[in-house]
Amino acid sequence: MNADRPMRHVVAVAVTDAAPTFELAVPCEVFGTDRSDIADPWYDLRLCAAEPGPLRTTAGLSLDTPYGLDDLIGADTVVVAACSRRVQTAPPGPLVEAVRTAHERGRRIVSLCSGAYVLAAAGLLDGRRATTHWMNAVDFGHRFPDVQYDPTALYIEDGTVYTSAGTGAVIDLCLHLVRLDHGSAVANEVARRMVVPPHREGGQTQYAKPLARERKNDSLAPVLEWARERLHEPLTVAGLARAAHLSERTFARRFREVLGTTPLQWILQERVRLAQELLETTDDPVESIARRTGFGTAANLRHHFGRLTTISPQAYRHVFRHRAAAAQRTATAPDSPRST
């Protein structure tokens, strides 16, 4: 071995049983594929069994590896892959301790999607900004109130600790790590070979479902429907309370009990939701959509839309409108024989 040759950066991925296949495959593709033609030396990827085997992914793929938690602690970058609900609610003690030890030794610690539960259980996220899949927002926030949970980010870097949102955001974070280690040119080339964007605009809020609709038999349902029909008009808590035949104080309390938010925040979310629909399905200019959604001006719409979705109305339309139009064409097209 050439003594002058730099040592390869070791990336160790902690794997538990029933790990989601895609989130585990991404670090294997990014760090495990030999790309020494664009950056030499490339990474040394090690899949580390984080609990006794046999270990299988959700797709039934079997993991046979000589590496364990001792190898995890000694790596340069420690990655906790996405994990099953069993591991989220009760992370294996040895894995939690290994992650904590690696952090104390100054290693770079990374979680992919629900792997953030393990980092939080180890205390690494206390007082830090962190994220995970948007579907885990309520549960994660309830379990770890000391974490500054951000449900909007695709990934977050806080010191030497990194967390990502779900599925596709795992690619974003892994490419970000390559960018930190080897520069933008190398990360962009890796993205090009994977046929993915080197950097995505916006956060995961643009992919999350709107807040769950209220129950049909709830006493607030009529007034909420009344408000939705008048989003283009000035709406106030006092006005909604009158429509609900409740005092303003009682209405606000009842609203939070049922929907978990304030009336004004709900109105804002509904207006943004309507703006999203209009951006997807119409060619109306932003100024017109601002008036139809009650924001009044394009500047006001851009401000609130960007705050809730993390992207501009124009960027949202670019990403989603063509997809919505294609779905509409498919739904209205006459039946045709299937090709074989």
Q: List, in order of start, the domains of the chain with CATH numbers.
A: 10-207 (3.40.50.880), 221-332 (1.10.10.60)
The mean of the pLDDT values for the chain is 87
Can you name the residues that pair with 63 across neighbouring β-strands?
A: 55
Q: What pLDDT does residue 1 have?
A: 46
- Six token digits for residue 150: 């951000």
| First vs last C-alpha separation in the chain | 56
Residue pair 74/10 in contact by the 8 Å Cβ criterion: yes
pLDDT one-digit tens code per residue, 259-288: 777 899 899 988 988 998 888 778 899 999
Q: What pLDDT does residue 173 have?
A: 96
Q: What pLDDT does residue 8 have?
A: 95
Q: What pLDDT does residue 139 have?
A: 86
Q: Whole-angstrom Cα distance, residue 239 to residue 251? A: 11
Q: What pLDDT does residue 322 have?
A: 54
Q: Whole-angstrom Cα distance, residue 24 to residue 240? A: 48
Q: Which residue stretches of the chain have pLDDT < 50?
A: 1, 211-217, 324, 327, 330-331, 336-340
> Where is 14: in which H helix or E strand?
strand 10-15
Q: What pLDDT does residue 308 have?
A: 78
Question: pTM for this structure?
Answer: 0.65
Q: Whole-angstrom Cα distance, residue 110 to residue 11? A: 10
Q: What pLDDT does residue 210 have?
A: 52
- Six token digits for residue 136: 């885990």
pLDDT one-digit tens code per residue, 107-118: 999 999 999 999
Q: Whole-angstrom Cα distance, residue 37 to residue 159? A: 30
Name every residue whose Cβ is closer than 8 Å to that of residue 227 and which is 6 or more positions away in sequence.
235, 240, 243, 267, 270
